[in-house]
Amino acid sequence: MEIRGLFKSFGSLEVFKDFSLSIRDRRITALMGPSGCGKTTLLNMISGLEKADKGTIEASDGALFIFQEPRLLPWKTALENVEIVLETLVESPLERRARAIESLEMMRLGDKLDSYPSHLSGGQRQRVALARAFCLPAKVLLMDEPFSSLDSRLVDSIMKDFLAMYQKSPRTAIFVTHDGLQAGRLADEVVLLGSSPCTVLDRFIVPSDKASRSLADALKAHDRIERVFEQ
Amino acid sequence: MSKRRERIVFALSCLGLLALWQALSMAVDSPVLVPSLLDIVKEAWSVIRSKAFLLNLGSTLLRGAESFALIAAVSIALAVASHLYKWVSVALRPLLLLSKAVPVMSIILLAFIWFSSAAVPVFSAFLMGFPIMYTQVFSALESLDPQLEQMCLVYGITGKRRLRHFVIPSLEPYLIVGSRQALSVIWKAVIASEVLTVPGLGVGSRIQLAQVQLETSRVLAWTMAAVLLTALSDGIFEILLKRKASWR
């Protein structure tokens, strides 16, 4: 994915000024930076929720969003929440159901299909949101701190299941996070941003394969991120 | 307070009110001023058994249903218009303020001057119920969750599907609460109009005629029929609300 010559201001605040970034296809790129540096705005522009003042973003058609909050429809069950997004894509209701169930089972929610969001825990709700995103074939996956509102004990297992699901159908994923260790564990590449206007401070490839990465490698990436932001 | 104790206190309070009434009627000792409980029950029984009972009740019910349908259609249309175009909501403000401030009786009397008597109950009930329903639907539309709105956009839930999966379910609880509150003022307005305009059939007409004939126990018997209408519509919407809220 190529982002070229991007400009975006809010009033007199120039968030992006001739910003360019290339993101590797079918890899997970972690995007990190201080709050207000424009990460969420960048995701919004890639998904088309916001318009850039100037510049181009290539290969952004059909980007999916995983938000910090699960954003499920409260009056629909876990299964229905996933089925809905397949409505325009899969014509047969039976196949729709089968695909939704498969996706939810991958997220270990096979026994919660008929539960309403209010009867699920925060972690389970976010799992439904992940299943909802992954059952769609979109090439680009945008994740805005999807694990940051969860209990730290839950994050590990959700990230593991997320990776398994991702490996089954890899996409170009942009993963915005504040947590260097989460970036170190999930990302193929880490991009560090500075603010006003948004610039790339540093970018590096995390050496080992994310599916079998050791904690030590993740910590190494984490330390490098810390060093850059300390300067 | 536990549910059980709550019920006991509630039941005792009801009994207390009845006892108070009975004591009063015995003290005053005049069936025209305060008829005894037994007289009222007897009268209510004869009212219910009379052929005209269902006709009168049905006429009032029909007038209420008519104004309710009118209120629902107009409120939803205007609330949607107000949501889409701010000027509509501003333009409606004076009318809403007016209908809240003007006494019900003034509306009914003015309607009686302007229209044929048949239109008075429906018109005055409309004017009383419309602001309630409109306010509910409008505020529901204004408070649609922007995060879910964004989610729908990103996940391609747009157009009719957005309406079906997101907008209408968001409105449902407001519609039910609005209907319930609107109906409770509709019954009051319709019956008050009937008392004043005395159409051939109607609970209000019966109350009016009973009052003229100083049949106090019959006034009370027909009043009980009016209470029944409100209780009935309240009950229906209570059940609807509970059923719709199973996901909470």
Whether residue A58 has pLDDT greater than 90: no
Q: Do A147 and A36 share a domain, yes or no?
A: yes
Helix A152-168 vs helix A122-134: crossing angle, to nearest 10: 10
Alpha-carbon distance B235 to nearest alpha carbon in chain A (angstroms): 23
Whether residue A60 has pLDDT greater than 70: no
- Here the CATH number for the domain that contains residue A183 is 3.40.50.300
Residue A12: per-residue pLDDT:
84
CA A132 to CA A134: how far, in whole Å? Answer: 6
Residue B116: per-residue pLDDT:
83
Q: Do A119 and A146 share a domain, yes or no?
A: no
Cα distances (Å, whole numbers) of residue A31 to A182, A184, A197, B248: 11, 11, 16, 36
Q: Do A146 and A132 share a domain, yes or no?
A: no
**Tokens representing residue B62 in the block:** 């029909």
Order the strands of the A63-66 sheet from edge to edge: A63-66, A140-144, A172-176, A28-32, A189-194, A199-205
CA B209 to CA B191: how far, in whole Å? Answer: 13
> Which residue is closest to B173 within chain A, CA to CA?
A75
Cite the DSSP H helix spans in B102-166.
Answer: 104-114, 119-142, 146-154, 159-162
Nearest to B148 among A71, A85, A136 (CB): A71
Nearest to B147 among A71, A84, A118 (CB): A71
Read off the pLDDT of each residue in A11-40 and give the average, rounded to a whole number: 89
Q: Do A176 and A207 share a domain, yes or no?
A: yes
Q: What is the DSSP string of B13-57?
A: HHHHHHHHHHHHHHHH--TTTS--HHHHHHHHHHHHHSTHHHHHH
Q: Do A189 and A158 share a domain, yes or no?
A: yes
Compute the Cα dihedral for B207, B213, B214, B218 and give only its sign: negative
End-to-end CA distance of chain A: 29
Per-residue pLDDT of chain B (248 residues; tens, 9 = 90+): 788 999 999 999 999 999 999 999 999 999 889 999 999 999 999 999 988 899 999 999 999 999 999 999 999 999 999 999 999 999 999 999 988 889 989 999 999 999 888 899 999 999 999 999 999 999 999 999 999 999 999 898 999 999 999 999 999 999 999 999 999 999 999 999 999 999 999 999 999 999 999 999 999 999 998 998 899 898 998 888 888 777 87
Q: Do A223 and A165 share a domain, yes or no?
A: yes
Cα distances (Å, whole numbers) of residue A3 to A9, A21, A63: 16, 5, 14
Per the CB < 8 A criterion, the answer to whether A32 and A177 are in contact is yes
CA B18 to CA A231: how far, in whole Å? Answer: 82
* Structural domain count of chain A: 2
Q: Which domain holds residue A217?
A: 2-62+138-230
Which DSSP helix (H) or strand (E) runs through A143? strand A140-144
Question: Between chains, do A118 and B247 touch, taking CB under 8 Å as contact?
Answer: yes
Q: Which of B201, B173, B202 is CA-nearest to residue B190?
A: B202
CA A29 to CA A203: how far, in whole Å? Answer: 10
CA A171 to CA A165: how far, in whole Å? Answer: 11
> Which residue is closest to A138 within chain B, CA to CA?
B155
Q: Do A157 and A197 share a domain, yes or no?
A: yes
**Tokens representing residue A40 in the block:** 């969420």
Q: Which of B106, B62, B36, B71 is CA-nearest to residue B203?
A: B62
Contacts of A118 in chain B (CB under 8 A): 247-248
Q: Do A122 and A158 share a domain, yes or no?
A: no
Nearest to A73 among B165, B246, B248 (CB): B165
Q: Do A148 and A163 share a domain, yes or no?
A: yes
Q: Do A150 and A49 share a domain, yes or no?
A: yes
End-to-end CA distance of chain B: 24
Q: Do A83 and A151 share a domain, yes or no?
A: no
Residue A34: per-residue pLDDT:
87
Cα distances (Å, whole numbers) of residue A175 to A65, B86, B193, B227, B236: 10, 39, 65, 61, 49
Per the CB < 8 A criterion, the answer to whether B110 and B122 are in contact is no
User: Where does a domain end: A114, A137, A160?
Assistant: A137
Across all residues in chain A, what is the average pLDDT? 90
Q: What are the beta bridge partners of residue B147?
A: none
**Tokens representing residue B58 in the block:** 């049905």
- Report chain B residues touching chain A, CB-CB < 8 A: 147-148, 150-151, 153-157, 161, 165-166, 169, 246-248
Read off the pLDDT of each residue in A177-193 and give the average, rounded to a whole number: 91
Degrees to nearest 5, angle at CA B153 with B155 and A182: 60
Residue A61: per-residue pLDDT:
67
Contacts of B151 in chain A (CB under 8 A): 65, 67, 71
Q: Do A58 and A75 share a domain, yes or no?
A: no
Alpha-carbon distance A214 to nearest alpha carbon in chain B (angstroms): 35
Alpha-carbon distance A202 to nearest alpha carbon in chain B (angstroms): 30
Question: Between chains, do A118 and B248 touch, taking CB under 8 Å as contact?
Answer: yes
Residue type, B4: R
Phi-psi region of B98 (alpha: psi -120 to 50; beta: other; left: phi over 0): alpha
Question: Between chains, do B247 and A75 touch, taking CB under 8 Å as contact?
Answer: yes
CA B119 to CA B199: how far, in whole Å? Answer: 10
Alpha-carbon distance A156 to nearest alpha carbon in chain B (angstroms): 25
Whether residue A127 has pLDDT greater than 80: yes
Degrees to nearest 5, angle at CA A150 with A144 and A152: 120
Residue B8: per-residue pLDDT:
94
- ipTM (interface predicted TM): 0.90
Cα distances (Å, whole numbers) of residue B184 to A91, A193, B32, B59, B111: 45, 60, 29, 17, 20
User: Where does a domain end: A90, A115, A137?
Assistant: A137
Which DSSP helix (H) or strand (E) runs through A54? strand A54-57
User: Where does a domain end: A122, A137, A152?
Assistant: A137
Within 8 A by CB and 6+ apart from A169, the residues are: A134, A137
